[in-house]
Every structure is written in structure tokens, then in C-alpha cells.
Amino acid sequence: MVRILYNLLIAALLSKSYALPENYQGTTKEMISNLCIQKDPEMRSQDSYYNLIKYNKFDQPLTWEQSFTKFIKSCFYFSKANAIVPKTIQKNNKIKSKMDHNQKTQVLIIGSGPAGYSAAIYAARANLKPILISGHEPGGQLTITTDVENYPGFANTIQGPWLMEQMRAQVEKVGTQMVTDQVTQVNLKQSPFEVKTEKGHTYHADSIIIATGAQAKWLNIPSETHFRGYGVSGCATCDGFFYKGKVVGVVGGGNTAVEEALFLTNFASKVYLFHRRDQLRAEKMLQKRLLDHPKIEVIWDVAVDEVLGNDNPKDVTGVRLKHTKTGALQEIKLHGLFVAIGHSPTTALFKNQLNMDDEGYLIVKPGTTDTNIPGVFAAGDVADKVYRQAITAAGLGCIAALDAERFLAKFNLAEKR
């Protein structure tokens, strides 16, 4: 009874002070979490009052005194637009924040894409108390796309940003310490490893999982950015399915572009390949398959000058091409444009410390996520130039956490559980 009254009071108080969506259907606990995030996104990444509330076992039966104390604390917190955090908590947070400037952990995860989040879930559930540094793109590459249809577990099409939000919530629920910051420097030559961040914090870690991903290279013309996710894509495996019976174009001349063009023939009625030279860089076997394919037409010596389309609803209707030798313009009607001019792995931080291939991808021991430095693991697109999918990145993140756990156990670095 006390609990019901308590929940009702909190709900009334919260809905008065903060805007919730009209169709909100979560529990009180979720509502508090959501409102905390709404109020201050930064708070969710700290071991703050938000986490105290979130993980303070709202789902367990409370005694009358506990309910009353929590209610008073919550009143303090939610009664003003600028939360008044109880003094004891403020004090704890100050101590914590001082500690944050120099923290030690068993597992430090760099990156918050599917690889980093999966690694965090496994490491946290192995009681390794991981810290995850999210970087400038919390949620990673999937946050810049719209429809996702190939991540298992969802019969209906889901949105990339929503999927990553779910992963983040799961990561926090299992107890990962999330930090909104960017790693600027790593020293892998000392043990424990040292990691410095943009906000001036230093972390010492017995093991590190690198999940900094990769960035698709884009043409960098405004119309491409405008239609990205609405007809312009960087991934045929991800989005080809949406172009059944339609006309598409692929930009590029290397293996990836040729493979993407061939893959797209499974769906599209016609596939153009636009290449800025008069010869492809792709392997000869692939070139032969491309040139022999009845659905594919290569347009040589052209660069995409502009992506053409509508705004209501937003969709692509064609491209304007510019001849690289004569400058002549030409328009081609199509429904989708796939930019396949390469990827850049985010590995500059690790230069001269970790082994990389000539394109900058981290090299791992086959079948593992082990880099050349014991205790440093790499997962996801940062070490995978072949598959580059959310599910493969997530799988590799899981492997990295298991590899880290074994490493810590082997060298007796895991704290007593």
C-alpha cells in the first residue's frame, strides 16, 4: 500500500515538473530514469544520483521508512527544474568526481557502438566493473542511419538510433560505468595501461577493449549529406534489400564498390557503377563478373556532381554526373545511391603502439580479439574490414570481453568478486 502511494506521489510530482510523452507507458522506475536523462544527459554517464535512483532497487519491496526517505530525497531532487541534490549525495559526487580524474579499472572499453556496448554487457555481467568511454559519437555509426532490418530479434523494421539507445540502456542496467568523453592519448607500453581523455581525466586499466569503429568515406557534397539515410547509403549489405525492383547506382572502383554492385543485382532491376577513372582498381576476377553482368552498366570517367531528389517525402530521384575529363554534365534517374569509396578505421590513437595493416585496421590474432599487446583487445569495425555489420561488431565485442576476462584471470588481475 505504502509502495503504491509512494509511486503515485512520485508520478504526480514528476509529471507536474517535467514533460512526458502523452502515450508514456513505462513503470515509475523507467519514468524516473527517462526524466533524469531528459533533464541532464550528462548525468546518466556518471555514477550520480541518477544511478542511485536507477539502481536503488525500486523493484524490491521497501519498508515504510525506506519509502519515506526515498520520497523525501526524490522531492528534493525533482521539486525544481534545477534539481536540488541532497547534500550527502553532492558530497559523494564531489569525492567521486575527484576520483574520476584518476581512476583504476580492470576493463576499459573505448567506443560506444555495438562492439563497445556488447563488450560492456559481458564484462559487467562477469563482475569486471568496466568503464566505457563513449566518444564523440555515442551509439556509433548506427545512429546516423534510419531503418535497420538485419539485426536479429526484431521482426519489424527498427531505427538505428533506437537500437543503440536500447543497447545503452542495457549496458547501464548491468552496471557499466558510462563516461561521456573522448580518449585523446593511450600509453600501452606501461602496465596498467594509461588512458587520457579530452576532459582531462586519466584512467589506468588492466585491460583495454578498443571498439572505436570505422567511418565510411563520403563524397562530401551537400546533397549527399542531405539524402543520407533517405536514398544515399554507405552499405549495400544493410540497405540493398530496400531497393527491390528499383534502379540504383554505386560510386567507386575498388573491390568494395564492385562487390556492392554485384550484391545489389540480387534486388535492383538495374545497377550503375560510377567510376572517376577509365579502369577499375578491383581484382580482375571481380571485374570480369561485374562487366559480364547483364544488370550492371559502368559509366567511366565521371564524378557525382549532385544527388537529385524530393523533400516531401525525402527521396532520391537521380544523380547529376560530371565527366572528369570534359566537364560535361549528365543526369541519370535512379532510386538509391551507394557510396563505396572506402572506410577509415579510427586508429590514429594507437599508431606506433599496435600493429595495423596498410589501411590502418588493427591486426588481431585470427579467431580472437588479441592485439600484439597482451591485455589489449580490438573488436568491431576497427579490426574488421570485411564484414562491417552491427551484428558482427556486437559478436566481436562479446568475444573481446571474454578474452579480457580470461586474460585477467590468467594474470590474477581480476579483483575478488
Ligand X SMILES: Cc1cc2nc3c(=O)[nH]c(=O)nc-3n(C[C@H](O)[C@H](O)[C@H](O)COP(=O)(O)OP(=O)(O)OC[C@H]3O[C@@H](n4cnc5c(N)ncnc54)[C@H](O)[C@@H]3O)c2cc1C
Binding ligand X (rule: CB under 6 A), the pick from 257, 380, 398, 407 is 380
Cβ atoms of residues 104 and 192 within 8 Å? yes
Distance (Å, whole) CA 130 – CA 414: 11
Taking CB under 6 A as the criterion, the residue among 16, 87, 136, 416 binding ligand X is 136
Residues 107-131 as b or e (16 or more Cβ within 10 Å = b) = bbbbbbbbbbbbbbbbbbebebbbb
Q: Which stretch binds ligand X (CB under 6 A): 7-15, 211-219, 240-248, 265-273?
A: 211-219
- The set of cell numbers assigned to 184 is 585523446
Question: Computed from CA positions of residues 378, 382, 385, 391, in that sequence, does the dihedral angle turn out positive or negative?
Answer: positive
Chosen residue from 33, 51, 93, 145 binding ligand X by CB under 6 A: 145
Nearer to ligand X, 128 or 238 (CB): 238
Amino acid at 45: S
Sequence-distant (6+) residues with CB within 8 A of 10 are 28, 32, 71, 74, 78
Among 107, 122, 130, 137, binds ligand X (CB under 6 A): 137
Among residues 124 and 216, whose Cβ is nearest to ligand X?
Answer: 216
Query: Residue 204: in which H helix or E strand, if any?
Result: strand 202-210
User: Which one of 72-80, 252-260, 323-331, 388-396 is the stretch in contact with ligand X (CB under 6 A)?
Assistant: 388-396
Omega cis (within 30) before 366: no
Nearer Cβ to ligand X (105/145): 145
Select from 34, 67, 103, 182 the one that contacts ligand X (CB under 6 A).
Answer: 182
Sign of CA dihedral 268, 157, 386, 186: positive
Q: Is 349 in the site for ligand X (CB under 6 A)?
A: yes
Instruction: Kindly tell me which of 78 and 130 has the beta carbon lying closer to ligand X.
Output: 130
Contact call for residue 369 and ligand X (CB under 6 A): no
Find the shortest distance in angstroms from Cβ 84 to ligand X: 32
- Residues with active-site annotation: 235, 238-239
Shortest distance (Å) from residue 20 CB to ligand X? 28
CA-to-CA dists, residue 190 to 49, 83, 212, angstroms: 34, 42, 21
Under a CB-based contact definition with an 8 Å cutoff, are residues 250 and 271 in contact? yes
Please report, as residue ranges, which positions from 213 to 232 form the binding site for ligand X (by CB under 6 A).
213-214, 216
C-alpha cell at 127: 563482475
Residues 106-125 that bind ligand X (CB under 6 A): 110-116
- 3-class SS of residue 132: strand
Stretches 6-14, 132-140, 250-258, 285-293: which one binds ligand X (CB under 6 A)? Answer: 132-140
Window of 205-213, 253-261, 275-283, 306-314 that interacts with ligand X by CB under 6 A: 205-213
| Terminal alpha carbon distance of the chain | 37
**Shorter beta-carbon distance to ligand X: residue 135 or 375:** 135
Q: How far is the CB of 371 from ligand X (least distance, A)?
A: 15
Kindly list the distances between the CA atom of residue 107 and the CA atoms of 72, 130, 297, in Å, as whole numbers in the listed order.
36, 5, 50
Grid cell for residue 404: 579480457
In angstroms, give the least distance from the CB of 345 to ligand X.
9
Considering only residues 150, 255, 324, 353, which one is a binding residue for ligand X as defined by CB under 6 A? 150
Distance CA 194, CA 235 (A): 35
Q: Any contact of residue 347 with ligand X (CB under 6 A)?
A: no
183 counts as binding ligand X under rule CB under 6 A: yes
Beta strand 376-378 with 202-210 is parallel
Per CB under 6 A, 235 contacts ligand X: yes
Give the distance, in angstroms, between the CA of residue 65 and the centroid of all CA atoms in the same chain.
42
Q: Where on the chain is the footprint of ligand X (CB under 6 A)? A: 110-116, 133-138, 140-142, 144-145, 148, 150-151, 182-183, 211-214, 216, 233-235, 238, 346, 349, 380-382, 388-391, 393
